[in-house]
Structure 1
């Protein structure tokens, strides 16, 4: 009797060990992810020489990085900070907190800064009210510093509250290494009574080129209407008894000094200071393929210096001349893609394909036939060792991690592959109870 009890315990232990091994092995199929790079190289292509401290070029839709130079180095960005202020204003308008025709009276701090003729400004009159729209336009087109502060007060109730709200928004975007103290990009001491408490007077806003690309992408994706304003070349600011003629500081816009005739630039924002040099967040849309470029720390030897625009043009030309915008159609399959395990299905596995159209920029000489993909199943659809049957044809069941050995891929979110939804290429019916029972029995021995 004791012999059979002992034998029974050994059999149970053996079966349990085999079961654990099988489940661990099966669950691992399709569940491993490609490791993402935690940082970008100092430069992704040494053949492009840009006379700037840092730069990046990304696809506005997917976040694919086409070029990077010192892209993760945090640097002063001056008035490019106003892109975050614009984002906060657009968010407040969308939520109903602000209305475009709503009139606000600038605080004394905002009004005082607006009177500083050494800064970019539209002069705001004491005790006079202005519409949110007019201040927003002045902020983006003419980089009006006092107007940006007035908007910050309207959004946050005070400069400090606005900065705190903006910092939280940056974290939501995944930006954790930026420094943000003022709504307009001036140093903390330059905004007078609007300065952020506890910070030194020389504290200033700092972002990396990558951070600024993330912010620009979010701005365009969440509020594409921003481009209707950033592409305006000239506009008049009505101050009641007098008017200010505003010309966009983005001289790459059509009709302005450094217009890029080959590509339709329609945004976004410049930034200039002694510490930041000349900076520029630009965007261009060619044949429906929008790019975002950032240059930080270009030369700024005079008010007429056009270095940042020339370096931006080099960067844009590099992207369009060295990459091919490649569309991957829905249903595309890739070589060497692993099938996903199916639990209790008539078939043990199911192959997958691209669930919807996407795109990737491939370097000249690299074709989409060279792309490979790793399938990763959706854990929510997993039961024990695989996707739970039945499965429909065309059902989204996970993701594809698409890459190629012929070209390194980089993305703003840190991925080193193009991530896209994966769908089943066929239907998989659930196996009947007898088949399931037989598989269970045979798997144990």
Structure 2
């Protein structure tokens, strides 16, 4: 978690990407495989910047979580208070007009927030989930920690500058905004669409028909029927403030491939979409999902593990499923496998101890790039592209009589070997 906005803005402007092959015209950007979280491209991805309304993805996450846990319901009525009403009428802000004293359902408010980025709707939902926006902001930061985000700070539920909230500041200073890095934003999007895939049903809606009879367009102009249509785009969230510039988190799917992109601090409304298009074109034309290790694969020269105290003295091991990874086209031969056995399963002689269950995990098989290039994931704390390695068959523990005979046999074998060595020494 990071501190205030003022400290960060200078740092962000000085950070530059080295060797940006795509030439992305934005302060920061990232491309992620949505299935595994593998990072395929990044520019200044750890630099902390204003996130604007993209922070509403966290509000969406917490609302969907509250629905899942039964704390609130979609058809639950929410009565609009004076502050939310006044905020909904504030000039220059994205809002759906909400009438003081009138009831709106949680679903109506959620749709207004997710489709038209209604700021007043976000505050109303924050109050429903946590009682006050202040409590909700504490929950946002707590959830960010739980999700493993780094480089973030939430001070409100909307992404607005605190100075625009009519004096109702939930956290932070009077001119603070929510901040995140591109990597943290991508990880939030990754968790949102994987934990709550239903979010895309709303995010992909091109136009909201609200109860007031008006229609409100989706600000994601890359949805297939809108101005900058791109095949497969079905989310996720735009954002803009003077501090944050123009931002966009997208997700798009074609066939079995889904990608997440984040563009931060682009120059204009249009450029955040044109730069996103560059990244998506690069993703769909340059990468494919390949099986690098097949199910039942056995590493050459390491097809078995020794077993002590068992009816058999070894057990075959193999992978329990395919290992697939999104990689650059034509680079499948650039990867090599590596078998890693769980040392906790072995004795000091490198043996498993019976009984061994059929299908018991004894380690994993991973892949590495032959040229030494790191395979990076959003969860950068040791995550690997790997698949479990398991025992092919079970090995029962031998009974006491068999173990005794083995012990006696071993004794006489050692005795014979010692005697033979002694006799040999005489000649």
Extract unaligned runs of 5+ from structure 1.
1-40
| 1:20-169 correspondence to structure 2 within 5 Å | 46-169=20-143
Per the alignment, residue 210 of structure 1 pairs with 183
* Aligned match for 1:306, one of 233, 250, 270: 270
- Could you tell me how far apart the structure 2 residues matched to 1:325 and 1:127 are? 53
- Could you tell me how far apart the structure 1 residues matched to 2:391 and 2:177 are? 51
* Aligned match for 1:224, one of 197, 209, 217: 197
Per the alignment, residue 12 of structure 2 pairs with none
Structure 1 residues 350-359 or 168-177, which shifts more?
A: 350-359
| 1:258-297 correspondence to structure 2 within 5 Å | 258-260=228-230, 263-297=231-265
Does the C-alpha gap of structure 1 residues 390 and 58 become closer, same or farther in structure 2, counting only changes over 3 Å? Answer: same
- Could you tell me how far apart the structure 2 residues matched to 1:81 and 1:369 are? 38
Per the alignment, residue 257 of structure 1 pairs with 227
- Could you tell me how far apart the structure 1 residues matched to 2:117 and 2:130 are? 20
- 3-state SS in 2 of match to 1:293: strand
- Could you tell me how far apart the structure 2 residues matched to 1:425 and 1:44 are? 48
Does the C-alpha gap of structure 1 residues 434 and 291 become closer, same or farther in structure 2, counting only changes over 3 Å? Answer: farther
More RCO (CA 8 Å, sep 6+): 1
- Could you tell me how far apart the structure 2 residues matched to 1:439 and 1:237 are? 85
- 3-state SS in 2 of match to 1:320: helix
Structure 1 residues 413-422 or 430-439, which shifts more?
A: 430-439
Deviations for 1:163-199, whole angstroms, at most 9, x for unmatched residues? Answer: 11111111111114211011010122222343124x2
| 1:163-178 correspondence to structure 2 within 5 Å | 163-178=137-152
Does the C-alpha gap of structure 1 residues 314 and 383 become closer, same or farther in structure 2, counting only changes over 3 Å? Answer: same
- 3-state SS in 1 of match to 2:165: helix
Deviations for 1:124-170, whole angstroms, at most 9, x for unmatched residues? Answer: 11111110000000101000000001000000100110011111111
Structure 1 residues 147-156 or 243-252, which shifts more?
A: 243-252
- Could you tell me how far apart the structure 2 residues matched to 1:352 and 1:178 are? 43
- Could you tell me how far apart the structure 2 residues matched to 1:440 and 1:221 are? 56
- 3-state SS in 1 of match to 2:223: coil
State the shift of 1:419 in Å: 2.8
- 3-state SS in 2 of match to 1:306: helix
Does the C-alpha gap of structure 1 residues 370 and 335 become closer, same or farther in structure 2, counting only changes over 3 Å? Answer: farther
Structure 1 residues 399-408 or 358-367, which shifts more?
A: 399-408
State the shift of 1:383 in Å: 6.0
State the shift of 1:82 in Å: 0.4
Structure 1 residues 182-191 or 354-363, which shifts more?
A: 354-363
Does the C-alpha gap of structure 1 residues 429 and 93 become closer, same or farther in structure 2, counting only changes over 3 Å? Answer: same
State the shift of 1:219 in Å: 0.8
Count of aligned pairs between the two proteins = 393
- 3-state SS in 1 of match to 2:166: helix
State the shift of 1:42 in Å: 7.6
Alpha carbons 1:336, 1:373 under 8 Å: kept: no
- Could you tell me how far apart the structure 1 residues matched to 2:144 and 2:301 are? 39
Does the C-alpha gap of structure 1 residues 247 and 337 become closer, same or farther in structure 2, counting only changes over 3 Å? Answer: farther
Extract unaligned runs of 5+ from structure 2.
1-14, 419-427
- Could you tell me how far apart the structure 2 residues matched to 1:264 and 1:118 are? 31
Per the alignment, residue 411 of structure 1 pairs with 377
Alpha carbons 1:83, 1:269 under 8 Å: kept: yes
- 3-state SS in 1 of match to 2:92: coil
Per the alignment, residue 425 of structure 2 pairs with none
- 3-state SS in 2 of match to 1:403: strand
Alpha carbons 2:303, 2:318 under 8 Å: kept: no
Alpha carbons 2:257, 2:288 under 8 Å: kept: no
TM-score by length of 2: 0.84
- Could you tell me how far apart the structure 2 residues matched to 1:373 and 1:64 are? 19
Does the C-alpha gap of structure 1 residues 438 and 116 become closer, same or farther in structure 2, counting only changes over 3 Å? Answer: farther
Cα-Cα RMSD: 2.8
Structure 1 residues 182-191 or 126-135, which shifts more?
A: 182-191
Alpha carbons 2:335, 2:367 under 8 Å: kept: no
Per the alignment, residue 186 of structure 1 pairs with 160
